Structures are given as structure tokens and as C-alpha cells.
Structure 1
Amino acid sequence: MLNLIKLVVGVTSVEELSERQKQATNCRNHSEYGALPVVHTRSFPRRSEEILEGGSLYRVIAGLIQCRQRVLDIQTDTRSDGTQGTLFLLSPEIIRVEPRALRPFQGWRYLDSKDAPPDLTGSMLTNLPPHLQKELTLLGL
């Protein structure tokens, strides 16, 4: 199984990401799953079959990997300017992960499962503001 990782631009928290994904402009109907949140990107992943075997899209918010969502489908799409693009159709469930600092990058990257941060379960970190999560992570706590 293979994952993807991508920055979330203009969002400062997981809660804000969740609210943004509920907007109609950020959803698409899927014949099997109904309305799903989508992420637009330019290039189609060559290893899409591996991603669709249970992979997730990990999200970097405020300099930290903070959450993930399962990738349910990957589709080509025609953008508003007529160029080809790609849509990642995601599970509506946002799963928080152990925060990990990451420098900015463009586009998306592959993320092997062995390198992905573990899911958070019952941790106090989920209730901390992003700036405190980042400070604690940078301190190695």
C-alpha cells in the first residue's frame, strides 16, 4: 500500500480543513460513495493502483503532518482553463496522526507506509492549538 502527502494551503487547523471540505465546491458525487471531498492537482500518479489499495492522503497543515484521509478514487478532470487535471476523491473521515514537522514542497509526494506517522488515539495532542503541537514536535516531545 502506498500513500500520498500534500500541503494544505490557506488552512490553519484540521477543523478548518473539515469545514472547507463540506463546501459544495470542494465535493464531487461518486456513484459508489455519494458526495466526497476532493483535492485538485495537476498530475496523475503513475502508481495510482498502489494508492487505491487502501492508501491515504496525508495533509501538512501549518508545517506539520496532522491528519490523513483514505483515497477512495483518483480521476482525471478537465480544469476551468481547459487543461487536464486530477481529482483525489477522499473519505469524509479525517484521521489525526502523530504530528511531524515537514518543510514546504510543491505538489504531492509518495509516502511509503513505513514512513507515515501513526494515527493518534486518545492523545492530548489532538486538543492542542497547531502552534503548540508544532513546538512540542520540534522539541521532540
Structure 2
Amino acid sequence: MALNLLKLSVGPETVEDLEGFIAQRMLLSGADVTWHQTRMVPKRRDELLDGGSIYWVIKGQICARQVLLDIVPFTDESGIGRCRLILDPVLVRTERHPKRPFQGWRYLKPDEAPADFAGASEDDGLPREMRDELSDLGLF
């Protein structure tokens, strides 16, 4: 089974904000993938790239994921080792799951990862906030 990463999304306050950030980065870079840069290189690369995803925590809840495509270590212009996590640009919404704040990223075992969101769809006519609240209550 694939191993996943868990990461706080700093800046975006909603999944829509994160989608906008991804779209803007792709537009500016001209790339067909997006990335997240981090200081630490995951040691369990092969497990992560065997179908793993990065799960995003937004405002204290895991609520979306992106498939990990590659992990590229590099040294920046200051001589500091860094890592670029290459990601599929498609953001998949997940069932919401509360998560306390933490620094950096964490490994997330497959059996601990929330399922993809299978509730109401975007075209159901409900406002996003209402859909999220109903999901939080377990009604979706």
C-alpha cells in the first residue's frame, strides 16, 4: 500500500483558495504539474511514489489531497538542501478529518487517511459552506 504525506496548507483558508493557488502557479510556470517545496527530503520515497498523495490540512481539518508524482531533492542558491514534491494539479476533496497543528510534514498511513469525498457534488445547488457543515455533521 502507498504511503502518504500530511501537510498544513499555509495561506489558503479554503479548498477553493488552494485550487486558485495551484492554478496561478501553473499559469505562471507554464508547467502541467505543480509542486510544493520543503526543507526535509522524505526518506520513504519509493513507498510515497507507489500511489501516495499529499493530504492538505486547512483550518484544522484534512480536506483535500493531491497525488505525488515525484520527489526531487536539490540545493538552493544559498547552499541549503531542499526538496520539491511534484504534484498532480488535480485537487481531490476528502472527507473532513480534524487534525491538530504541527510543523513540517508527517507520514500518513493509508489506513489513517480520510476517504475521498463522496457526498454532495458541486452542482447540487448548495453553498460550499453549507455542504462543508453538513459533511462535518456526518450528514453527507
| TM-score normalised by structure 1 residue count | 0.82
Q: Distance in 1 between matches of 2:5 and 2:127?
A: 25
- Answer yes or no: is 1:133 the counterpart of 2:115: no
After superposition, give the CA deviation of every residue in 1:32-86 in whole Å (9 maximum; x if it has no partner).
xx53110111111110100000000000011110100100000012334331100
Note closer, same or farther for the CA distance 1:135–1:120 as it changes in structure 2 (3 Å cut): closer
Q: Distance in 2 between matches of 1:127 and 1:69?
A: 23
Q: Distance in 1 between matches of 2:121 and 2:23?
A: 26
| RMSD of Structure 2 on Structure 1 (CA) | 2.8
Match of 2:94 in 1: 97
71-80 or 94-103: which moved more? 71-80
1:129 aligns to what SS in structure 2?
helix
The share of aligned pairs that are identical, in percent, is 39
2:33 aligns to what SS in structure 1?
strand
Match of 1:10 in 2: 11
Q: Distance in 1 between matches of 2:106 and 2:92?
A: 19
Q: Which has the higher strand share?
A: 1
Q: Distance in 1 between matches of 2:70 and 2:38?
A: 14
Unaligned runs of 5+ in 1: none
Instruction: Give the superposition deviation at 1:4.
Output: 0.4
| TM-score normalised by structure 2 residue count | 0.82
CA contact (8 A) 2:26 2:33 kept: no
Note closer, same or farther for the CA distance 1:27–1:61 as it changes in structure 2 (3 Å cut): farther
- Answer yes or no: is 1:62 the counterpart of 2:59: yes
CA contact (8 A) 1:12 1:62 kept: yes
What letter is aligned with 2:104? G
- Answer yes or no: is 1:83 the counterpart of 2:80: yes
Number of aligned positions between the proteins: 135
The 4+ residue runs of structure 1 with deviation greater than 6 A are: 25-29
